[in-house]
Amino acid sequence: MKIICIGRNYAKHIEELASEKPENPVVFLKPDSAILAKNQPFFIPPFSNNIHYEVEVLVKINKVGKYIDTKFAHKYYDELGLGIDFTARDVQETCKKKGLPWEKAKAFDGSAVIGRFIPKEKLGDLENLAFKLYKNSELVQDGNTNAMLWKIDELIAYVSQFFTLKKGDIIFTGTPSGVGKVSENDNLVGAINEQEMFSIKIK
C-alpha cells in the first residue's frame, strides 16, 4: 500500500506557516513503516525537538486506477477516515532552507496515524464535512472540507496522473490551520461529525 499525502490544501494553514500558495497540489509519500500501530502510543523521536500534529481527512482507495477523470473519481473510494500527519517541523524547516526533500520530516516511523474508517454514505455531504482535533480535551484544529483548495475527487484525479492508485492506498488530504507542537503525556483525539475516530497518547 501507498500513503499519499497532500500539502498546502487549506489557505489558512498556508498562511500560518508563511508558505507560498501552490498552483497544483503538493504531493509527497510516506512508506508503510510510517503507520503507527493500532492502540500504540506515539513516541517523540530523538532527532526532533518540535513535532507537530496535523489532522487530516483520509481517503481509502478501493480499486486500481490510473489517469482517473474527476467525474469518475467518486467510484474509487467507499470510506473516509481521519488521521494525523506528524511532522518534525524543525527538520522540515532545515530541509526547506536547503531545497531538500521533506521525507526525514514527514515519513519517519510512526508519523502516520490512521484512525477508523466510515462508509462515505453515512457522512453526508463530503464537501462540507466537519472534523476536529483535541489536545488534552482542548480543541486545537477545527476543519471543514469545504475549505479545501482541491476537493477529494480532484485530488484523486490529480494524483492518479503520476501514481497508479491501488486498492488499500490511503490519501491524506491536507490539514487545516491550528497545527502545533506535541509534548510528552499529551493526548490527541480526532473526530468527524463529532464521532471519535482515534485517540493517541504521546510518549
In angstroms, the Cα distances linking 141 to 91, 108, 179 are 22, 23, 7
Retrieve residue 67's grid coordinates: 489517469
Q: How distant is the alpha carbon of residue 161 from its chain centre?
A: 20
Closest listed residue to residue 76, CA positions, set 197, 174, 157: 157
pTM higher than the cut 0.85: yes
Partners of residue 29 on adjacent β-strands: 4
More confident residue, 138 or 10: 138
Model pLDDT for residues 148-183, shown as the tens digit of each residue: 999 999 999 999 999 999 999 999 999 999 999 999
> 3-201 maps to which CATH number?
3.90.850.10
Delimit the domains of the chain by residue range. 3-201
Model pLDDT for residues 83-103, shown as the tens digit of each residue: 999 999 999 999 989 999 989
Model pLDDT for residues 33-56, shown as the tens digit of each residue: 999 999 999 999 999 999 999 999
Closest listed residue to residue 14, CA positions, set 6, 23, 3, 22: 22
Model pLDDT for residues 123-137, shown as the tens digit of each residue: 999 999 999 999 999
Say how far apart CA 109 and CA 107 lie, in whole Å. Answer: 7
pLDDT band at 16 (very low <50, low <70, confident <90, very high): low
Amino acid at 186: D
Phi, psi angle pair for 116, to nearest 5°: -75, 160
